[in-house]
């Protein structure tokens, strides 16, 4: 059974803290994605990675960075968390080729106080 896992389902942090969200996939997928999901706004792409150590900015990269040191792991970093980063964060992965669907993790609901 294919899987994308995320390190936490719920996370509460304080303003200014450095936050790490981790995502692991076991499907040997080349492509991995971080989205932010907010009511009425759908899924907005923060960053994606198409290979180890490769990354590309999505639509809303400001305030975020990412790391992909190993193929199966893609981390999202909030350098200095702010209250407007309170959201649901979804990780996804997909294989090469446009036919392939994205597989999603369960999400991390982050609250920044």
Partner 1 sequence: AQTVTQSQPEMSVQEAETVTLSCTYDTSESDYYLFWYKQPPSRQMILVIRQEAYKQQNATENRFSVNFQKAAKSFSLKISDSQLGDAAMYFCAYRGNTGNQFYFGTGTSLTVIP
Which residues make up the interface to partner 1 (CB under 8 A)? 31, 33, 35, 40-43, 45, 48, 50, 58-59, 90, 92, 94, 98-99, 101-102, 104-107
Rounded CA-CA distance 85/62 in Å is 10
User: In the complex, what is the shortest distance from the CB of residue 43 to partner 1, in angstroms, rounded to a whole number?
Assistant: 4
Measured from the CB atom, the residue of 69 and 101 that comes closer to partner 1 is: 101
Measured from the CB atom, the residue of 33 and 78 that comes closer to partner 1 is: 33
Rounded CA-CA distance 90/88 in Å is 7
**Burial (CB count within 10 angstroms: exposed 0-12, middle 13-18, buried 19+), residue 45:** middle
Measured from the CB atom, the residue of 36 and 112 that comes closer to partner 1 is: 36
User: In the complex, what is the shortest distance from the CB of residue 19 to partner 1, in angstroms, rounded to a whole number?
Assistant: 22
User: In the complex, what is the shortest distance from the CB of residue 99 to partner 1, in angstroms, rounded to a whole number?
Assistant: 6
User: In the complex, what is the shortest distance from the CB of residue 74 to partner 1, in angstroms, rounded to a whole number?
Assistant: 13
Rounded CA-CA distance 51/89 in Å is 21
Query: With the CA atoms of 23, 19, 36 and 66 taken in that order, what torsion angle do they form, in degrees rounded to the nearest 10?
Result: -60
């Amino acid at each position: 059974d294919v899987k994308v896992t995320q390190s936490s389902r719920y996370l509460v942090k304080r303003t200014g803290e450095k936050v790490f969200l981790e995502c692991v996939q076991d499907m040997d997928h080349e492509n991995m994605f971080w989205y932010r999901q907010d009511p009425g706004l759908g899924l907005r792409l923060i960053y994606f990675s198409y290979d180890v150590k490769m990354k590309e900015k999505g639509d809303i990269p400001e305030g975020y960075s990412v790391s992909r040191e190993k193929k199966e792991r893609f981390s999202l970093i909030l350098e200095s968390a702010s209250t407007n980063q309170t959201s649901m964060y979804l990780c996804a992965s997909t294989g090469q080729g446009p036919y392939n669907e994205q597989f999603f993790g369960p999400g991390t609901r982050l609250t920044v106080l």
